[in-house]
Amino acid sequence: MTFPKKSKFYKNAIYNLLQRTIDKYASYNINMDYTQKEFLESRPQRLCKMCGKCCRVLTASISYEELKKSAEAGDKSSIEFLDTFEPYPSLEDALKADEKTVKNIPDYQNRTFYRCKHIGDSNLCPRYEVRYDVCRFFPSSPWAVVPPECGFEGWLFQQREFHKQHIRKLKEEAIFYKAKLKTNISEHEKGLYEQLIKKINERVKLYDKYDSEKW
Ligand code: SF4
Ligand code: SF4
């Protein structure tokens, strides 16, 4: 059934549709944790080549000193990290262990690199059943830096593209809604478009740290 464009029914249908879209975007933003959970559960473990590179040479986003302080203050993830990994004595040692992986990190000269204290020559994890989240959830996001030739490389690229497409689509929608604001619409409809634009901007902002401005 179709309604004439100026009819009350048509307008109500539009308002309902806009309100549902606002609610959907609001729930997206609240459910970032859910998105993260979905990502972790969707990782195809069969892609892991069991090369052990991610256990043998890795770095952290904060310095070794900061990690130790944070562990002393009781931070669970820092305690678990230091219980699993030990720092290489020097950058040269890390380079000797795996030059490609070290040099894959943009500012590698200023980083501390670590190795697992437990891994054996077979690359099998001796703590597999009790390993901490830092190991269990690797790679932990589409933007995780993995060693070159890691089996997850291509899949992570796909995941990043998926998020980028989603954000690009939302940005296009925002442009459309902004154009709508300049047309002859009711104050109520205008308010709904403004809420939609706000929700989209909030969503895009969640991806700021990944440079979403440029997508
Ligand atoms: S580097 Fe990648 S492929 Fe190799 S063990 Fe780690 S997750 Fe698996
Ligand atoms: S504990 Fe296991 S999974 Fe974690 S770094 Fe060591 S070998 Fe790898």
| pLDDT tens-digit series, residues 66-92 | 999 999 999 999 999 999 999 999 999
User: With DSSP H G I counted as helix, E B as strand and the rest as coil, what are the percentages for the chain, rounded to 5?
Assistant: 65, 5, 30
Give residue 72 CA to ligand 2 midpoint distance, Å. 22
Distances from the Cα of 190 to the Cα of 15, 24, 25, 162, 210, angstroms: 10, 18, 17, 30, 31
Shared-domain flag, residues 129 and 62? yes
Shared-domain flag, residues 143 and 56? yes
Domain residues for 12? 8-40+160-214
Residue 3 included in any domain? no
Shared-domain flag, residues 193 and 172? yes
Structure confidence by residue, pLDDT tens digits, 194-205: 999 999 998 898
Q: How large is the average pLDDT for residues 50-77?
A: 96
Cα separation of the two ends of the chain: 39
What would the two tokens of residue 195 be? 């809420």
Into how many domains does the chain fold?
2
The vertex-109 CA angle with 107 and 112, nearest 5°, equals 95
Shared-domain flag, residues 129 and 181? no
Give residue 203 CA to ligand 2 midpoint distance, Å. 34
- What is the rounded average pLDDT for all residues in the chain? 91
pTM above threshold 0.85: no
For ligand 2, atom 8, which residue shows the shortest CA distance?
55
Residue 127 included in any domain? yes
Structure confidence by residue, pLDDT tens digits, 166-203: 999 999 999 999 999 999 989 999 999 999 999 999 88
The percentage of residues in the chain with a pLDDT greater than 70, rounded to a whole number, is: 94
